Amino acid sequence: MSIGETKPLIDVRGLRVGRAADGRTLLSDVSFAVEAGRSLAIVGESGSGKSLTVRATLGLLPAGLVAQGDVTLAGRPVSRDPKALRALRGGTVSLLLQDPFTLLNPLRKVGKQIADGLARGKRTPAEIARRLAEVGLSADVAERRPYELSGGMRQRVGLACALAGDPTILIADEPTTALDVTTQAEVLDLIRRVQRERGMAFVLITHDLRVAFSMSDDVLVLYAGRTAETGPAAAVRAAPRHPYTRALLAAEPPLDRRLTVIPSIPGTVPAHDAVLGRCGFADRCALAGDACRDGTPEPRPAGPGRTSACVRADVLAATAPAEPETAPEPEPAEGSGPALLEISGLIRTFRGAKRPALAGIDLRVGPGEAVGIVGESGSGKTTLARCVVGLERPDGGAITFDGTSYGDLRALPKGERARVLRGVQMVFQDPYSSLNPVRSVGAVLAEALRAAGRDGGKAEVAALLDLVGLRPDVAGRPPAGMSGGERQRVAIARAVAGRPRLLICDESVSALDVSVQAQILDLLADLRSSLSMALLFITHDLAVVRQITDRVYVLASGHCRESGPTAQILDSPTDPYTRALLASVPIPRP
Amino acid sequence: MRLPGPAVAVALLVLAATGTAALFGGLLVPDATAQDLTTGITFPGPGHPLGTDELGRDVLRLLVAGASTAVLGALAVSAGSMLTGNLIGLPAGYLGGRADALAMRWADLMLSIPALLVAVVVAGVMGGGYWLAILVLIVLFAPTDARVVRGAVLEQRSRAYVEAARLQNLTSWRIMTRHVWPNILPVALANAFLNFAYALVSLASLSFLGLGVAAGSPDWGRTLSDNKGQLFANPWAAVAPGLAIIITAAAVTVVGDWLQERAERRRLAR
């Protein structure tokens, strides 16, 4: 099939997705086109409709959802021709999925899985070896099964499978979200290289602005199931023409400096059909006027190759975004006075593991200090936190919290254990599993208050909700139906109910959208000063650790590689591992 | 709420009818066991839609009156075994370690015994009787329930909300009963439904063998047993109670599946 240079390989016009059962609309008026050799990133927070967009494009919507609109793939109109679409899928059009741990069949050898996608005459060992080499793997990987491979290798195999049918169009749905930062950087580099070499049209779906701008020529910003803004990546990044894009970019914490307040977007993403007939962003927008709530704003040209769905795009273009204030780097308070938490020589080896999860870690948190622990999965950072609060039993070493020393917190006498747990609390990563689905918010908080020796009455619960920025009527609701950000606020309220002296946050903002992440980071910083708590902040995200901590420990494979003032470690790392971590943060394309 | 499908609707109707018969059978057909030896055994005819048995008892009336012992007994078995299963499975799953090992070896031991055979032996040695049969079935069913509950608890135990509760320094008892138990309740209930169907058939089998309800009493299993010799004179006398057992058991299974699916959907929609 020969296609003219200018004719796009993917052309989607007026895409609309609705639910057949109740007639609800989930997505409207999404249009985009990608030419051969070009790449487009579809960016949006959860609920924006980015996954729905590609699934509708490929005819892979879940049962019960119906798509309308015109889709042309490789010059063939497919929106009304499921048969043609089936013929294209897996060959001309290929999809790379998010989770490298589930996308491969665990029982089949890698080579066989790649061969499945190859043309019938090409299923030879030599061809499979060539395909593996293309994604940077050696030929012997073909004989291995997925469980013998690391996450990064599996995603490379996933890519090789996606490329097996020699597609001209590659679509990747959050391809690196489940990977560690250093692995993510490698896989992103690989995808970009292969895409250029093969001259494929490439669509990348991501929630991560850094990844989007580092990977693609163009971006499409989705908000509440509608196009907010489109344009060349560099131009959109430099001067967004939609307030949502601008706010989203501002909410992304910078790696190179600390802000006094991270500009967050108030509220949460509304459902698409809750904001029909008006601008979906109006309720969260500082620029919003009457015109924004009167009719749906259509995407209009806003500069060369750009569109914006903001009726006040020219106002936006005329005003420079407010530069967020840079905070003075904190004075490191290490060594002054007695430590609140002192960990020495902590060792933990899980049964059957080849190496210890913690291989003798020393760590110290002073009263009121904010300390970060940075590391990738398997570094031992979570095991460390769990040992402190007694969810895990260390094999050796000592923990001293506020004058009480222990190895296994569960082995302490009841009274002392209660005293420690009143002083140290933890906020978990996943706000969905950390709240009991059958208990109302009020019951959860009342119980936490009573456990801390308070009466847990309505007034106290209301005060606690107010402290974390929630309205008192939330108390009667179950967690179902609450957004991730709201849930995480409840989880924080539960943790601070007894006014702990140390709050451990284990990846507490990693599962949240960028705009919400900024809200929660600001909340944690406020609580830290108003309750004079110390923070032990565990994360894989270096930009986040820069914003919220004074000192940082870098962990890898159960060892502490480096520690010191956060600014110093991030600006001039001495350990090669820290340097590798910093180098793996995606950089926007020039 | 989504409407139940036709199969579920029919099953619900069957259960409503069976439930009415079980609860109010004594009022509906007070003279079910009244004999009319002059009539003797007859095919279905006017006045007797399902005919009569050799004692001249109306088969339909016997069927309605027999629901009580059959259904309430099965209900007692499934409720009793669910209660026992929860009391054992909850601490076994949550506490783990020795409590778990002890409970599970007990369950293994119980499950290695052929259930119905034991019931027959025990009932035979102790002279039989309705309540003894129920008790034996509870003891035999409980290990399976304990395992199901334990499995559900294990799935919940590693959830962050349970760990958060542990960080509140709550007692294990409180975490088990207030936090974990409500979350496994749908699983336990669905299992109780399946047990009900199984208990219905098992109790009927025991009655059929003459080890449950006393001879001559209106009970589905018993009636089936009493009338098994009359298949040619009036097949309905034996077939009708048999069908009642099968249909009720099937209806309970259908409704149980439906409830479990609903609970699952709600959990996913969370």
CB contact under 8 Å between B161 and A436, yes or no, is yes
How do the domains of chain B map onto residue ranges? 67-219+257-269
CB contact under 8 Å between B168 and A448, yes or no, is yes
- Tell me which chain A residues have a C-beta less than 8 angstroms from the C-beta of B159: 433-434
Could you tell me if residue A73 is inside a domain? Answer: no
What string of DSSP letters covers A322-357?
A: PPPPBPPPPPP-TTSS--SEEEEEEEE--TT-SS-S
In this structure, what token pair is assigned to residue A422?
């009143």
Closest CA to A229 of A247, A202, A210, A251: A247
Closest CA to A529 of A339, A330, A372, A322: A330
Residues A296 and A378 in one domain: no
Query: Model confidence at B37, in pLDDT bands (50, 70, 90)?
Result: confident
Query: Model confidence at A4, in pLDDT bands (50, 70, 90)?
Result: very low
- Tell me which chain B residues have a C-beta less than 8 angstroms from the C-beta of A536: none
Q: Are A184 and A584 in contact (CB under 8 A)?
A: yes
Say whether pLDDT at A334 is over 70.
no
Residues A447-471: pLDDT tens digits?
999 988 888 889 999 999 999 999 9
Report how far residue A173's alpha carbon sits from residue B159's, in angstroms, rounded to the nearest whole number.
27
Domain boundary residue, one of A278, A297, A323: A323
**For A439, nearest residue in chain B (alpha carbons):** B179
Burial of B114 (0-12, 13-18, 19+ CB in 10 A): exposed
Say whether pLDDT at A479 is over 60.
yes
Which of A388, A401, A433 has the most B C-beta neighbours within 10 Å, making it the best mutation to test the interface with B? A433
Query: Model confidence at A495, in pLDDT bands (50, 70, 90)?
Result: very high
Q: Which residues of A398-432 are buried (b: 16+ CB within 10 A; e: fewer)?
A: ebbbbeeebbebeebeeeebebbbbbbbbbbbbbb
Could you tell me if residue A401 is inside a domain? Answer: yes
B264 touches chain A (CB under 8 A): no
Residues 6+ apart with CB under 8 A from A367: A337, A338, A340, A501, A532, A534
Could you tell me if residue A461 is inside a domain? Answer: yes
Q: Residue A1 has what pLDDT?
A: 40
| Total number of domains constituting chain A | 2
Give the strand pairing for A396-401 and A341-348: antiparallel
Q: Residue B120 has what pLDDT?
A: 78
Q: Nearest CA to CA, how far is A270 from chain B (Å)?
A: 17
CB contact under 8 Å between B163 and A494, yes or no, is no
Say whether pLDDT at B8 is over 50.
yes
Could you tell me if residue A95 is inside a domain? Answer: no
In this structure, what token pair is assigned to residue B207?
């009655």
Residue among B159, B178, B182 whose CB faces A433 most closely: B159
Side chain identity at residue A10, one-letter code: I
B169 touches chain A (CB under 8 A): yes
A451 touches chain B (CB under 8 A): yes
Q: Which residues 143-162 of B have a C-beta within 8 angstroms of A? A: 159-161
Report how far residue A316's alpha carbon sits from residue A338's, in angstroms, rounded to the nearest whole number.
52
Residues 6+ apart with CB under 8 A from A131: A114, A118, A160, A163, A164
Say whether pLDDT at A175 is over 80.
yes
- Give the gyration radius of chain B's Cα atoms: 22
Query: Model confidence at A82, in pLDDT bands (50, 70, 90)?
Result: confident
Q: Are A242 and A228 in contact (CB under 8 A)?
A: yes
Q: Are A536 and A528 in contact (CB under 8 A)?
A: no
Q: What range defines the domain where residue A273 resides?
A: 235-323
Which of B167, B181, B265, B267 has the most A C-beta neighbours within 10 Å, making it the best mutation to test the interface with A? B167
Residues A234-259: pLDDT tens digits?
999 988 999 999 998 888 888 888 88
Q: Are A204 and A39 in contact (CB under 8 A)?
A: yes
B183 touches chain A (CB under 8 A): yes
For chain A, the distance separating the N- and C-terminal CA atoms, rounded to the nearest angstrom, is 34
Sheet with A10-19, strands from edge to edge, namely A25-34, A10-19, A65-73, A76-77
In this structure, what token pair is assigned to residue A197?
């070499």
Which element (helix H / strand E) includes B21? Answer: helix B6-28
Q: Where are the alpha helices (DSSP H) in A89-141?
A: 110-117, 125-134
Residues A345 and A314 in one domain: no
Report how far residue A178's alpha carbon sits from residue A98's, in angstroms, rounded to the nearest whole number.
7
Q: Nearest CA to CA, how far is A452 from chain B (Å)?
A: 8
CB contact under 8 Å between B169 and A421, yes or no, is yes
Residues A487 and A346 in one domain: yes
Q: Which residues 15-74 of B have a C-beta within 8 angstroms of A? A: none
A439 touches chain B (CB under 8 A): yes
* Average of per-residue pLDDT across B202-206: 81
A401 touches chain B (CB under 8 A): no
Report how far residue B220's alpha carbon sits from residue A145's, in angstroms, rounded to the nearest whole number.
57
Residue among B164, B179, B270 whose CB faces A428 most closely: B164
Closest CA to A54 of A209, A192, A222, A284: A222
Residues A178-216: pLDDT tens digits?
788 888 888 898 999 999 999 999 999 998 888 899 889
In this structure, what token pair is assigned to residue A470?
């929630």
Query: Model confidence at A217, in pLDDT bands (50, 70, 90)?
Result: very high
CB contact under 8 Å between A447 and B168, yes or no, is yes
Q: Residue A3 has what pLDDT?
A: 43
**For B158, nearest residue in chain A (alpha carbons):** A433
Residue A303 DSSP code: S
Q: Which residues 474-503 of A have a C-beta within 8 angstroms of B? A: 479-480, 491, 494-495
Could you tell me if residue A9 is inside a domain? Answer: no
In this structure, what token pair is assigned to residue B105?
């070896």
Could you tell me if residue A482 is inside a domain? Answer: yes
In this structure, what are the phi and psi dihedrals at residue A16, rounded to the nearest 5 degrees? Answer: -140, 135
Number of CB atoms found within 10 A of residue A438's CB: 18
Residues A391-440: pLDDT tens digits?
999 999 999 999 999 999 989 998 999 999 999 999 998 888 899 988 99
Domain boundary residue, one of A323, A352, A373: A323
C-alpha angle B241/B243/B248, rounded to 5°? 100
B67-219+257-269, superfamily in CATH? MetI-like (1.10.3720.10)
Q: What is the overall mean pLDDT for chain A?
A: 89
In this structure, what are the phi and psi dihedrals at residue A430, rounded to the nearest 5 degrees? Answer: -90, 110
Residues A270 and A405 in one domain: no
Report how far residue B228's alpha carbon sits from residue B238's, in angstroms, rounded to the nearest whole number.
6
Could you tell me if residue A107 is inside a domain? Answer: no
Could you tell me if residue A477 is inside a domain? Answer: yes
CB contact under 8 Å between A437 and B160, yes or no, is no
- Tell me which chain A residues have a C-beta less than 8 angstroms from the C-beta of B270: 432, 437, 479-480
Q: Are B59 and B51 in contact (CB under 8 A)?
A: yes
Residues A285 and A430 in one domain: no
Of A493-497, B143-147, B177-181, B225-229, the range with the lowest mean pLDDT is B225-229
Give the strand pairing for A307-308 and A300-301: antiparallel
Residues A491 and A346 in one domain: yes
Residue B179 DSSP code: I
Q: Nearest CA to CA, how far is A429 from chain B (Å)?
A: 9
Number of CB atoms found within 10 A of residue A278's CB: 16
B131 touches chain A (CB under 8 A): no
Q: Residue A335 has what pLDDT?
A: 53
Q: Nearest CA to CA, how far is B75 from chain A (Å)?
A: 27
Q: What is the CATH number of the domain that holds A473?
A: 3.40.50.300
Residues 6+ apart with CB under 8 A from A130: none
Residues A318 and A367 in one domain: no
E strands in A455-533 = 502-506
Report how far residue A82's alpha carbon sits from residue A361's, in angstroms, rounded to the nearest whole number.
58
Residues A449 and A307 in one domain: no
Report how far residue A284's alpha carbon sits from residue A310's, in angstroms, rounded to the nearest whole number.
13
Q: Nearest CA to CA, how far is A502 from chain B (Å)?
A: 13
Of A126-140, A403-417, B110-124, the range with the lowest mean pLDDT is B110-124
- Tell me which chain A residues have a C-beta less than 8 angstroms from the C-beta of B178: 439
